[in-house]
Amino acid sequence: LNIIKKLFNAKKADHGGTLDPLATGVLPIAFGEATKVLSYIVSKKKQYEFTLKWGEQTDTDDSTGRIINTSENVPKKDDIQKKIKEYKGEIDQIPPIFSAIKLDGKRSYELARKGIEIKHNSRKVNIYDLDIISSLNETTKFNVVCSKGTYIRSLARDLGKSLNSEAHIIDLRRTFVGTFSIENAFSLDSLEKLSHTANIKDALFPIERALDDIPALKIDRNQANKLKFGQAIKVNSDLSKKEVKIFHENILIAIGHISDGLVKPIRVFNL
């Protein structure tokens, strides 16, 4: 984030969805007014490709940690295929102790590094899709589409135990977040090369890209001025009790909520 902030000479920047230290892949970054839509990005579905190693559990649930449990049992592909069906849909999941979750104002991983015993409560997450890509010897590679808040390291850990083995992640790659996919992503190296040309802005998407699944509403100048001052406006629209992205002359003015013919602004943009 700091590197990219300098490359774009941005005064304000933030990212959508922290990646594990081991992980690679898509990290949406927003500048200026676009930081106001990050909450819409991180709440979307995410897709990962991950490889787990059977027979070993680590304290971090990935290969950066120390081994704490072992098993000589390596599940067969057919058994793994049957078991992953149980993980599709809404499941209960306990986050790893090495995570960014806060406990009494401290990050969980900070406490874990000090050897303090941690117990997280389980949480509901959704696994929309989970498939085997390949399975070879002591490793299996998966593709998963999941909801916000899902820990893939926890998924690997739980898969291991439910198949009478142990497991941890050795490779993790995020391939999309909402409408932002790996095919559209730029590596740090490619951005640094672009920064030496006049084409670095080619790496930017318009702010509304993060709001692709929200209906659009067009308004006039007078209505736009009212919204910018936080005032509700009357509209004639078939949309009801919905969030909408609001435009005046193709410029995004706000995100609002429609109810009973009134639009109340939720987020106002100064573009």
Distances 93 to 99, 171, 266, 269 between C-alpha atoms, Å: 13, 20, 32, 37
Q: How many CB atoms lie within 10 A of CB 50?
A: 23
20 is catalytic: yes
Left if phi > 0, otherwise alpha if psi is -120 to 50, otherwise beta: which for 100? alpha
Kindly give the parts of the chain with pLDDT less than 70: 241
DSSP state of 62: B
pTM value is: 0.88
Cβ-in-10-Å burial (0-12, 13-18, 19+) of 199 comes to exposed
CA-CA-CA-CA torsion sign (57, 63, 64, 66): positive
Q: Which tokens sit at 251?
A: 């410029």
β-partners of residue 217 are 246
pLDDT tens digits along 206-241 = 898 889 888 988 989 999 999 988 899 888 777 776
pLDDT tens digits along 110-149 = 777 777 777 888 899 999 999 999 999 899 999 999 999 8
CA angle 17, 18, 19 (to 5 degrees): 115
Which residue in the list 14, 20, 61, 104 is annotated as catalytic?
20
Mean pLDDT of the chain: 90
**Residues in the chain, how many?**
271
